[in-house]
Amino acid sequence: MNFKTRYAAYQEAVEAYLNSLFSKQEPYGKLYEAMRYSLLAGGKRLRPVLTLEFARLGGLDWHLALPYACALELVHTYSLIHDDLPCMDDDDLRRGKPTNHKIFGETLAVLAGDALQPEAYRLMLEAPGLSDSSKVEAAHLLTRASGADGMVGGQVLDTICEVKDAEGLTMLNRLKTGVMISAAAELGCIASGMPAERRKEAVTYADEIGLAFQIRDDMLDVVGDEQVFGKPIGSDKEEGKITFVDIKGISGCASEVAACTERAKAAVADWPAHDFLFSLADMLVERNK
């Protein structure tokens, strides 16, 4: 199966799984509507795709890893809802559509994000076909990646602290974006019981494409097409944020993205079935949204 076909198969399975969630008619159904609005808003589904591919590479029927993959996507979606709020980045658009609070109001947007977090852990802990020890380890990993020493810590650096140098930016982006990408890869390893050395290589691969992803995001905020990118161009500068473009310039950023991509490939180069991972890394280099 070639890269595009396999990626499409993963995306289709993820969309179907997510679409099955939060669809019951309840007195608080407006909450479900707000959760589904952002959860089903599209996107590359990079993180769940990574989980499913590493589960497959570890010898598992990748369909069994869907609860882990989609649990992480729930947490990622909650972070986007909260990130767009007026008290944070105050964005009007996300993936080309009005942000959650623009449709449902700030109160329900906050609650939709709040609800997505525990629901993610319910998906993991109720995952059929996976061992109890696997579920506990997976839940523990996601708490670390998304908590105070992970994604939330990165958000604090991004919104409250004044980060102005490359070292600080690398740490900020590692926490805000990178840890959730590496966690996605590691969740697939946990689901499939991958050996420790291979798991370490998987995390290195994901760390490198995660940094490349964020640097490319900084570039797109300057040179991207708003209609394609799905959110306003130049928002970082408007908010007074220092990005990799400010420090390295566009050409320097392009060089760094290329270097990250090569380091990612090197981490899994001796894996017998690394073609998909190589193609994925290459795809992210040239992405425009």
| Domain ranges for the chain | 3-285
> Hey, which CATH number is domain 3-285, 1.10.10.1100, 2.60.40.1220, 3.30.70.60, 1.10.600.10?
1.10.600.10
| Predicted TM-score (pTM) of this structure | 0.92
Of 118, 142, 263, 119, the closest CA to residue 191 belongs to 142
Percent of the chain scored above 70 by pLDDT?
A: 94
Of 60, 62, 102, the closest CA to residue 81 belongs to 102
- Contact between residue 85 and residue 109 where contact means Cβ atoms under 8 Å apart: yes
Task: Write the pLDDT tens digit of every residue in 195-222.
Answer: 999 999 999 999 999 999 989 988 998 8
- Contact between residue 158 and residue 172 where contact means Cβ atoms under 8 Å apart: yes
Task: Write the pLDDT tens digit of every residue in 91-123.
Answer: 999 988 999 999 999 999 999 999 999 999 999
d(CA 52, CA 162): 37
